[in-house]
A and B are shown apart, each in its own frame.
Chain A
């Protein structure tokens, strides 16, 4: 039986691939043909990859903040898992940006050495989670939206983006399911949890409209990018179904305005973003010459 072979089981030392995705490589796109398809503007493709990559990187950061704070150990594992998947998506997309714009810059350059105004994530991704209800509300909204976008990107004219989306769809389906189940439990659970869930959606909702605004970069990449405006209906259907099962109403709150005409996709962020980046980038920037 297996336990009699403990030492043998431990002996096969070279199987890092069996551990979590992303632990065994420096360059996520190593060996991949990253030629930009003809007729596609490399700089725009890079900008688009940064938008999607920054969403994942920044939301992953917020999930990392939950580490050792989850309400139950099963959720500790699940939240870390979602954080890891999103980090993996971010790495692929940031690496793709560095190939597409011809700069050859690696994922770490984009993550650690850009200023706040250069980050292109939607503002909801950087929203802090005051409690577990906010966490699941944010994850439900962002993964439902992202899943719909990624489903379309599977047929992107950029084969690298299509492959990243293909991998991401499976992950996001699980993330959405995890968040939806919790929204239902909390909405339907106790009076306290219901009220907390209502407050969480009221907090999140003003940043939802921004997700579906088509950006100029997306307009300039027909066939490559997915138009987020097209997924609004699908998003509304999923949310309506989950909110109904959770005995919750769709929040009736006003959308948050941008700043000087710009929002997250334009590099205009909330005040929380500066602190997030200060933390994320602190060690890398303190030792710019270092190798890790």
Chain B
């Protein structure tokens, strides 16, 4: 006869969860978690995965036209990395019971979001560099603290992703450096790209703290480590000297060092624009969603064939056995 321990009560499980969080230990897939944590975490990881996948499009736009074979290799490798990040993240969400088909469905039906930045167009090859420098730079600011997320599989995914993002950022900055030492036209292309991407990059950190309702809970669960405004400030402080080294002007007349705060002050962000872009009115929302939907739908017959073949193989094995 086996003696089984009585199952722990929900209150005990909850205490254990809170204790794990308080001690800064990781939650692992086998651990009990409150339903709200599970749902929030799946949504956070899925939206991050969606951002990687949709984020392939603006840069993918330039792969076939990249003006040197080295730049082409870099860009192709980078966009490939993003597909890999998306896969990795969907897998992390699956450890919490998320389903990839379901998450994809939520993306293409617009029920789950992706980063607003990818709803802006890439209009010249300089955009490739500026996306590497500013957009990946902002992503790194956002993501490095997530390497300490309380959810273990996500934290570990973030380590690898941040590592590759740092390649991307350096490659972007190096492209801009090269272009800035090139022709006058190239310098103009870079400045124009900076003008278009600076403010949307600042918006990547999300709404201001006083308008970010989920931040408190996420910080308590340690799935978010710094507030939106803290991360935004860190990004600005990091980027201004890089812009000076590059020789570009950031399009903000209010940008100035504040010795008292020990930070750069910057101008007011157009939050109406962010709301418009998030709610579907950005310059490329329709195109990005349409491309993803079409790829998924065009691939349906291929996925069905793979499943049918696998079933037939299984049947053949059973007959042979």
Contacts and interface: CB of A to CB of B under 8 A. Distances in A.
B179 A292 contact: yes
A3 B159 contact: yes
B186 A77 contact: no
B69 A84 contact: no
Contacts of A19: 77, 164, 167
A112 B57 CA distance: 24
B63 A64 contact: yes
Interface of B: 26, 53, 56-57, 60, 63-74, 76-77, 79-80, 83-84, 86-87, 90, 125, 144, 147-148, 152, 155-156, 158-159, 162-164, 166-167, 170-171, 175, 178-179, 181-183, 185-186, 291-292, 294-295, 298-309, 312
A80 B64 CA distance: 12
A10 B72 CA distance: 25
B166 A72 contact: no
Interface in A6-26: 6-7, 9-10, 13, 16, 19-23, 25-26
Interface string A57-97: 10001001101111111101100110110011011001000
A292 B68 contact: yes
Contact of A68 (B71, B163, B182, B291): B291
5 contacts: A21-B73, A64-B64, A73-B53, A131-B298, A279-B64
Interface string A268-292: 0000000000011011100101111
A67 B87 contact: no
A291 B155 CA distance: 39
A6 B162 CA distance: 9
A292 B205 CA distance: 31
Given A2-B156, A13-B170, A289-B182, 17 more contacts: A3-B156, A10-B144, A23-B77, A68-B56, A69-B294, A71-B298, A71-B299, A72-B302, A76-B83, A81-B80, A84-B80, A91-B70, A190-B305, A284-B68, A287-B186, A291-B182, A292-B71
Contacts of A7: 144, 147
B305 A77 contact: no
Interface of A: 2-3, 6-7, 9-10, 13, 16, 19-23, 25-26, 57, 61, 64-65, 67-74, 76-77, 80-81, 83-84, 87-88, 90-91, 94, 107-108, 111-112, 131-132, 184-186, 188-190, 192-193, 196, 279-280, 282-284, 287, 289-292
A3 B69 contact: no
Interface centre among A3, A7, A91, A94 (most CB of B within 10 A): A3
A70 B167 contact: no
A85 B77 CA distance: 10
A42 B186 CA distance: 37
Nearest to B83: A76
Nearest to B185: A287
Is chain B's interface secondary structure helix, strand, loop, or mixed overall?
Answer: helix
A292 B177 CA distance: 9
B65 A71 contact: no
A83 B69 CA distance: 12
A61 B166 contact: no
Nearest to B79: A67
A108 B66 CA distance: 11
User: Which 3 A/B pairs are nearest by Cβ-Cβ distance?
Assistant: A71-B299, A189-B305, A6-B147
A25 B70 contact: yes
B69 A111 contact: yes
A77 B295 contact: no
B299 A290 contact: no
Contacts of B64: 61, 64-65, 279-280
Contacts of B65: 279-280, 282-283
B67 A112 contact: yes
A290 B166 CA distance: 26
Contact of A6 (B76, B155, B178): B155
Contacts of B68: 108, 112, 284, 292
Contacts of B300: 71
A77 B166 contact: no
A290 B181 CA distance: 9
B299 A73 contact: no
A3 B149 CA distance: 10
Contacts of A69: 291, 294-295, 298
Contacts of A131: 298
B69 A72 contact: no
B162 A68 contact: no
B76 A64 contact: yes
Contacts of B304: 189-190, 192-193
A91 B66 CA distance: 14
